[in-house]
Amino acid sequence: MPAGNRVGSIVELSKITSSPSNGDLQLTRHADEIRDRLNAMVRIVDQMFSVPAARPSNQPVTEKDIRLLLKLRRSRDRFFDGELFADPAWDILLELYAADLGQQRISVSSLCVGAAVPPTTALRWINTLESAGWIERRPDPMDGRRYFLSLSCRGLESMSAYFRTAPTGTPLI
């Protein structure tokens, strides 16, 4: 049933008359209370089914927003087989975007853990994304065995543009 029909049904139910035939004041108050509750439900339903506006340009996406998005993606694993939503490339890009927003460096090993995929899978996708120009790998100047990853200029611009056009308040998991 389309959302409009459900809302319409609730609106019709809320048209209870406030002047009962026997003039009983308690019945009138009860009808008013029911009408108020139904109107509140209509507002909630309208909010649930309304299309959010695009994110205003003065409201940037924050590291906290991206971390919440990642947390929501991880919570799916409690209810569905992880392979059903296997998309390590997107998780890697999200992790790197959150790190950039938080002005943090992220190592290859940390990214493998953050992407919630086996290291071999994460490394394969890291190589793919690096070859495609989405991410960059830089050696750690203090430890030659470690590398840091970040979004490339192209990757950062694309992630920023994507989230600028995303509806406000809508988790894009």
pLDDT tens per residue across span 15-43: 444 444 555 677 777 777 877 776 676 66
When the pLDDT of each residue in the chain is averaged and rounded to a whole number, the result is 75
Who wins on pLDDT, 57 or 89?
Answer: 89
For the chain, the domains span 3-49, 63-165
C-alpha 5, offset from chain centre: 27
pTM (two decimals): 0.58
- Cα separation, 17 vs 116, in Å, equals 57
Predicted pLDDT at 110:
92
Q: Which are the contacts of 139, defined by CB distance < 8 A and separation ≥ 6?
A: 146, 147, 148
Strand partners, 124: none
Query: Which CATH code is given to the segment(s) 63-165?
Result: 1.10.10.10
Q: What is the pLDDT of residues 71-99, one digit of tens each?
A: 877 777 777 666 666 678 888 999 999 99
Q: What's the average model confidence in pLDDT over 112-116?
A: 86
